Chain A
Amino acid sequence: MSDVNNNGISRRSVLKGAAIGGVGLAAGGSLLAGCGTKKVTGDVHFTIRGNLSDAGAKIAIAANDAYTKKTGNKVISQAVNSDDFQNNFVQIMQGTPDDAFGWMAGWRTNARADAGLLADVSDQIKALGKSLSPAAIQGATNPKDGKQYIIPTTYYPWGLHYRKSTMQELGLNPESIATWDDLIKLCEATQKKGLVGYALGDKGGWEAMGTFDILNMRLNGYQFHIDLLNGKEKWTDAKVVDVFTHMGQLIPYMNKNVLDISWDGMRDLLLQKKCGAMMMGSWFANDFKAKSQADYDDLWIVPFPEINPEHGVDSIDAPLDGISVAANGKNVEGGKDLAGFLGTKEGIDAAVAAGDTNIYISSDFDTSSYDAFNKQKLAVLGAAKNIGFFLDRDTRGDFAGPVVGPAIQSFLKNPKDLTKILDNTQKQWDALPAL
Chain B
Amino acid sequence: MLDFIIKRFLQVIVVVFLALTVVFFLIRLAGDPTTLFLPPDAPREQIEEYRELLGYNRPLYVQYGDFVSSAVQGDFGESLRSQEDALGIVLSRLPATFQLAISALVLALLIAIPLGVLSAYKRNTVFDRIGVGLTVVGQAVPSFWLGLLLIFFFAAQLKVLPSGGGGTPVHMILPTLTLAAYSVARFTRFTRSAMLDVLRKDYIRTAKASGVPTMRLIMRYALRNSLIPIITLVALDLGVLLGGAVITEVVFSWPGVGRLLMQSLMNRDFPIVLAGVFIIALIYAIINFVADILYAYVNPQIRVK
| A and B held together in a complex | no
